[in-house]
Amino acid sequence: MKTARVVVDVPAMQTDRLFDYLIPPKWNDLIAPGMRVIVPFGPRKVQGFVMEISETTEIEKLKEIHTILDLTPVLTKELLDVGNWLTEKTLSFKISALQVMLPAAMRAKYEKEIRLTSNEFLEKLDPVISKWFQINHVVPWEQVEKSNELTLFQKAIQSGSLEVVYKVKDRASKKTVRHVLPVLSKEELMELLKTLPSQAIKQKETIEYFIKKPDSVEIKDLLNIVNGTEASIKTLIKKGVLKQVNVESYRDPFEHHHFEPTTPLPLTKEQTKVITPILQSIEEDQHEVFLLYGVTGSGKTEVYLQSIETVLKKGQEAIVLVPEISLTPQMVKRFKGRFGSKVAVLHSGLGTGEKYDEWRKIHRKEVSVVVGARSAVFAPFENVGIIIIDEEHETSYKQEDNPRYHARDVSIFRGQYHNCPVILGSATPTLESFARTSKDVYKLLTLRERVNDRPLPTVEIVDMREELKGGNRSMFSTSLFEKLNDRLEKKEQSVLLLNRRGYSSFVMCRDCGFVMNCPHCDISLTYHRSSQSLKCHYCAHEIPMLKTCPECDSEHIRFFGTGTQKVEEELTKILPQARVIRMDVDTTSRKGAHERLLNDFGERKADILLGTQMIAKGLDFPYVTLVGVLAADTMLHLPDFRSSEKTFQLLTQVSGRAGRHELLGEVVVQTYTPEHYSIQLASHHDYDSFYQNEMSIRRQHAYPPYYFMALLSISHPEVLKVVEVAEKITSHLRNSLSEQAIILGPVASPIPRINNRYRYQCMIKYKQEPNLTKLLKQILTRYQREISGKGLGLSFDLNPYILM
């Protein structure tokens, strides 16, 4: 008897294994690994993934598979392997590793209902609940739960009058458009034309259309052609002349976009040198990881495009990862312009349905290039010829919840599987990647020159302490103000970056120093101007803005920190004639708002673009000649060993936004710590020195890339319990790991409480611990009971990016 081994959609430690199910004989030839199924699991039904088909089983009382959800596997053999590997690497549940590879629309939705078993029982029911079933014989469980008659329902269920129904719903909805087509032949239509009453003009026109073109046509288009209304078509359908059919179609997120076709540009000498080994690796089906280190404006994208072209010519497919690409419509334009409809785009700005549609295009091989954010690395191609990660240093490639994977690692895994090259591109590579080139694990390819020989912009560092001493208390230094003014006069554009990370606008009393904290999380509340309220960024707790200080009743309670709104206000004060576009969460939350703002700026409808991090990436506007960084060092002081690296990357990236075309660019960096090496070296565009400097610091403090890291987080509603468990685990680790491993902690997390749960953490730095995953799994098993029952939280992040 054929059985299927299934991973069920129950993310818990005890169910994190395969369950065997009988395959009903009618599906014997249909079923295959990688398909989604619905299976009975205990009293309910759940979604699951078929991992293997087997002829044998050790289980005696097998249940049958209830439904097959797919006709072709949604996960290829390779992706199932990727899933297993992810499970192992990130210590996540199998089900989570599988689900993360598919668009959200394919995840099941569960519904529980109470149903009247049969009409005859309606009278037997207690009158209190029988009225529930008078009209509808089915009632959603949520309503039952809310009612106060739970016991009555229970009794009715026991007696058999009512039953519990478990439903598994696919939320994937395929968009359909309505088409009509003629049922009659051409001759019959012509005959009909004669018999129509003379006032039925629209019907006549419609029939004439079909005589000329007897194919199915979208109703919307037909109405446009005959300039009619649906009424005429409805009558024709009623008369049996036409037939309506619903045709499956794709939602097209780029429906109203036109992409100018582009052709390959001639490569510079340097670009040619760089692309040669890549092409060779493609031709020879050799897996290799290349680090393409190229200064901003050195033409990395053209190298990508031409490499992809070679891959497509070979009949293979390409995956391109870009950071959060809704932010860089310009990037999409370049790919769509070169490869047209062969490109699918997967980015966070798309709705669930749109993502599902793009995914299906990939799955059906209707496209051969996918451009997308992190999760696009799981594109279900089967003949991948190249994987490209642009802006390799971006932290958004690391997923921060389970499974905590890094897209770079997945890319390399898939690259090995497909024997194809993986390209990591960046102007500021991570130290990890750059270090690997010196060990020859990755091949280094360098682009030192900018394409049109534009010099890199000059960078001026302004010491804001001096400005303050000189009596300038505004957030604009004299120099920046003068330069902004100068650009206004010259009708050139400026970009202002407010680095807000680690710089929230908290509320403080100026008289007693009281800071308003979240009552559930030990973190200050953030002021939101639009809603006049204070919000917690961790648990969404919200209170109205305070009028007086709760401690001392003073009215001098104000928010501190600088928001983009505040900068905008001050900007309009000092430069009233300037037209400013502000880009932050508030102005870009609406769909498409981001792109519209950028378009406006590109069309020079504004002089100054003011924004947060989101404007640092990939923007390319010819008239931008000035970039101002308002506070360069705000993230330098975060409790994160990568803060210098992040600062250097950010400054280098924004500097690259100025003077990309004919006009020369200039950058002003305002800071309170001008002497810091990451600011100094970024201002000289000196990555190499930064690398050397930072590496020696990393070595001194035993940080990556010299050591691997693992972060264990322990949380519980009671402090004492957290401390107890944290200490036990830490000492267990100290006893079990090798002498070389450095185990720090346990200490309270930088945010010691979130949602009324106290948080402790323990950090492991290690070089080689082959037993680490095994050990961590043991720890999980040991505390399993307390995790599922007693509110204990344990999470492990191997190679963490956020240390809070």
Partner DNA sequence: AGCACGCCGACT
Partner DNA sequence: GTCGGCGTGCTC
Q: Which of 7, 23, 35, 41 binds DNA (CB under 7 A)?
A: 41
- Give me the least distance between CB of 132 and DNA, in Å please: 19
Q: Minimal distance in Å, beta carbon 140 to DNA?
A: 13
Q: Residue 413: CB partners within 8 Å, gap ≥ 6?
A: 82, 85
State the Cα–Cα distance between residues 459 and 446, nearest whole angstrom.
23
Distance CA 36, CA 98 (A): 11
| CA pair distance 571, 567, nearest whole angstrom | 6
167: contact with DNA by CB under 7 A: no
Reply yes or no: is the peptide bond before residue 746 cis, omega within 30 of 0. yes
Q: Rounded to the nearest whole angstrom, what is the least distance from the CB of residue 22 to DNA in the complex?
A: 7
Q: How far is the CB of 110 from DNA (least distance, A)?
A: 7
Confirm or reject binding of residue 25 to DNA (CB under 7 A): no
Residue 11 found at the interface with DNA (CB under 7 A): yes
In contact, 174 and 246? CB cutoff 8 Å = no
Q: What angle do CA 267, 268, 270 make, to 5 degrees?
A: 115
138-140 and 108-116 beta bridge pairing: antiparallel
CA 501, distance to chain mean position in Å, is 19
Neighbour order of strands in the sheet with 493-497: 458-463, 666-671, 624-629, 493-497, 608-611, 580-583
Residue corresponding to tokens 């690796």: 281
- 509 annotated ligand binder: yes
Q: Which stretch binds DNA (CB under 7 A): 59-67, 235-243, 424-432, 592-600?
A: 59-67
Question: Between 214 and 793, whose beta carbon lies closer to DNA?
Answer: 793
What does the H/E/C string look like for 651-699? HHHHHCCCCCCCCCCEEEEEECCCCCHHHHHHHCCCHHHHHHHHHHHHH
Residue 168 or 635: the one with the smaller Cβ distance to DNA is 168
**One residue of 40, 704, 717, 752 binding DNA per CB under 7 A:** 40
Least distance (Å) between residue 796 CB and DNA: 16
- Shortest distance, CB of residue 92 to DNA, whole angstroms? 13
Stretch that binds DNA, among 12-20, 547-555, 709-717, 733-741 (CB under 7 A): 12-20
Q: How far is CA 216 from CA 180, 191, 219, 220, in A?
A: 5, 20, 9, 12
- What x-and-dash track marks residues 768-797 binding DNA by CB under 7 A? -----------------x-xxx--------
Please identify which residue in 14, 199, 227, 735 interacts with DNA, judged by CB under 7 A. 14
- Using CB under 7 A as the binding rule, the residues of this chain from 531 to 550 that contact DNA are none
Q: What residues from 134 to 153 belong to the interface with DNA (CB under 7 A)? A: 151
Determine if 44 is a binding residue for DNA (CB under 7 A).
yes
Is residue 737 a contact residue for DNA (CB under 7 A)?
A: no
Do 516 and 524 touch, CB atoms closer than 8 A?
yes
Residue 109 interacting with DNA (CB under 7 A): no
Task: Give whichever of 6 and 332 is closer to DNA, judged by the CB atom.
Answer: 6
Residues that bind DNA (rule: CB under 7 A) add up to a total of 28
End-to-end alpha carbon distance in the chain: 51
**10: contact with DNA by CB under 7 A:** yes
Q: Quote the least distance from Cβ 788 to DNA, whole Å.
A: 5
CA 47 – CA 30 distance, rounded (Å): 18
Q: Which amino acid is at 619?
A: L
Q: Which of 27, 166, 677, 707 binds DNA (CB under 7 A)?
A: 166
**Shortest CB 777 distance to DNA, Å:** 16
Is 512 labelled as part of a ligand binding site? yes
Site residues for DNA, window 355-384 (CB under 7 A)? Answer: none
Among 28, 42, 230, 747, binds DNA (CB under 7 A): 42
| Contact letters for DNA, residues 279-298 (x by CB under 7 A) | --------------------
Distance (Å, rounded) from C-alpha 665 to C-alpha 670? 17
43 lies in the binding site for DNA (CB under 7 A): yes
Residue 15 makes contact with DNA by CB under 7 A: yes
From candidates 1, 30, 52, 59, binder to DNA by CB under 7 A: 59
Is 552 known as a binding-site position? yes
Tell me whether residue 152 or residue 763 sits nearer to DNA (CB atom). 152
- Judge whether 433 and 299 are in contact, CB under 8 Å: no
Q: What is the DSSP string of 138-171?
A: EEEHHHHHHSS-HHHHHHHHHHTSEEEEEEEEE-
Does 521 appear as a known binding residue? yes
**Dist CA 60 CA 482 (whole Å):** 82
| Stretch in the footprint of DNA (CB under 7 A) among 37-45, 119-127, 665-673, 690-698 | 37-45
Tokens for 92, please give them. 């996540």
Distance of alpha carbon 411 from alpha carbon 388, whole angstroms: 8
- ∠ CA(196), CA(197), CA(203), 5° rounding? 60
Residue from 28, 63, 662, 718 that binds DNA (CB under 7 A)?
63
Which residue's CB is nearer to DNA, number 41 or number 527?
41
Residue 36 CA to residue 175 CA, distance in Å, equals 21
What H or E segment, with its residue span, contains residue 712?
strand 708-716
Position among 19, 132, 359, 381 found at the interface with DNA (CB under 7 A) = 19
Q: Which of 21, 359, 405, 559 binds DNA (CB under 7 A)?
A: 21
Which of 57-65, 123-131, 440-448, 538-546 is the region at the interface with DNA (rule: CB under 7 A)?
A: 57-65
Q: In the complex, what is the shortest distance from the CB of residue 545 to DNA, in angstroms, rounded to a whole number?
A: 37
8 A C-beta contact, residue 630 and residue 567: yes
Q: Quick one: how far is CA 465 from the chain centroid?
A: 39
Cβ–Cβ under 8 Å, residues 168 and 108 = yes
Minimum distance of DNA from residue 9's CB (angstroms): 9
**The binder of DNA chosen from 32, 53, 62, 614 (CB under 7 A):** 62
Scanning 19-27, 122-130, 242-250, 494-502 for contacts with DNA by CB under 7 A, the matching segment is 19-27
- Contact footprint for DNA (CB under 7 A): 10-12, 14-15, 18-22, 39-44, 59, 61-63, 112, 151, 164, 166, 785, 787-789
User: Residues annotated in the binding site, as ranges?
Assistant: 509, 512, 518, 521, 536, 539, 549, 552
The annotation places the binding site for Zn(2+) at 509, 512, 518, 521, 536, 539, 549, 552
